[in-house]
Amino acid sequence: MLGVSRFDSSIYNNYVRLADAFLHGHVWIVWPGAFIDALGVGGKHYVIEGPVPAVLLMPLVAVFGRAANQTAFACVIAGLAIGIAWHIARQLGADRGLASILALFMALGTDLAWCAIYGAVWYVAHVVAVFFALWAVAELLGRRRVWLVTLLLVLAAGSRFTLVAAVVPCAAYALWRLPAGRRIPAAGAALVVLAMAAGFDVAYNFARWGVPNDIGYVAWYHQDQIGEATGSPFRLAYFTYELNAFFGSIPAFVNHYPWFQPRVDAVALEVTSPALVLAFFARGGERGFVPAMWAAAVVTAVPSFLYYANGGAQFGMRHALDFEPFLFPLIVLAAARVPRAVSEVLFALSVLAGVWGIWYWRTFFDSYLVHVLPPEYR
């Protein structure tokens, strides 16, 4: 991934700027201009995306300052997430060969590798969230420490807030699998984690907006040219639009090389990730695990199907990365049931689609995301 990224350091480096702000003892960023998602309040600008990736970037920024390479960071975190995916496959009984195929699917059969390679703020949020969400799934298949599952999902939500919904089904499953005498202490430890996270969130919101709740995305929606002046960015009215983005955005045939052209803002999941269908055939695993993963996937998917924006410039549908970590173990379980030839064809099609998407963007669409930041803003 690092090689394919060409080590381009994205100018949409909000997280580098936020890490730099944290290191200097404040939460407002050095604002390079209106091309980045930063909300102006009281003459200063604040990052609206969750702060966890910036916290992880602080050591790198401490060394390199605002010249730190956010894209390289994303590629490293994506590599760790792929390693965890391989581990999950092994936990669920896949042999090394199949586990490698499944990990390759998680990398290229989803938007994970594409997001890491481009490394813009929105994509880095996904990469970090996937890393923590997969780690939480691995913990559910391992020691099932409820406090750690909760913490990992809180950290995932600190990158992509929709993942906070996964805490309930995942923590509930972990608690249910414990002996009755251990459930109350385990639940208490998880509640402590949630209370601490809520305290940090309230403090961070006060530092940015002067109120305890996060108004960043709502305020951004009110000023966004594709948003509305009032109301919530989550509305049932947007469902049809999102449904078409997730499932109706088919690449167009053109009468010149390279013959098929993806939309710059969305490509349907059945094109990019046909192996996701395997999740419907998942059986087995420990009792209650499959329903818990489906519940986590559904509750994290709902906000994306009601949101006013589909993700902007992207290959595939990057918002699917919010729920794909919970579909991944279901796909692993299904791969043991369906004919091997069927699953391998679906995995191959998914991976080839991902490779094609990265190649196409690198060849034809780079100008949408790759720019050179003037020295005075670095």
Q: Which residues contact 199 (CB under 8 A, 6 or more apart)?
A: none
Spatial contact of 190 and 151, defined as CB atoms under 8 Å apart:
no
What the block records as the tokens of 177 is: 């699998």
* pTM for the predicted model, two decimal places: 0.96
Cβ(315)–Cβ(260) below 8 Å? no
- Sign (positive or negative) of CA dihedral 267, 273, 352, 322: positive
Q: How far is CA 47 from CA 67, 147, 204, 283, in A?
A: 18, 28, 11, 42
Q: What is the pLDDT along the chain (378 residues), one digit of tens a residue?
A: 777 767 788 999 999 999 999 999 999 999 999 889 899 999 999 999 999 999 999 999 999 999 999 999 999 999 999 999 999 999 999 999 999 999 999 999 999 999 999 999 999 999 999 999 999 999 999 999 999 999 999 999 999 999 999 999 999 999 999 999 999 999 999 999 999 999 999 999 999 999 999 999 999 999 999 999 999 999 999 999 999 999 999 999 999 999 999 999 999 999 999 999 999 999 998 999 999 999 999 999 999 999 999 999 999 999 999 999 999 999 999 999 999 999 999 999 999 999 999 999 999 998 878 765 554 444
Distance in Å from the first CA to the final CA of the chain: 24
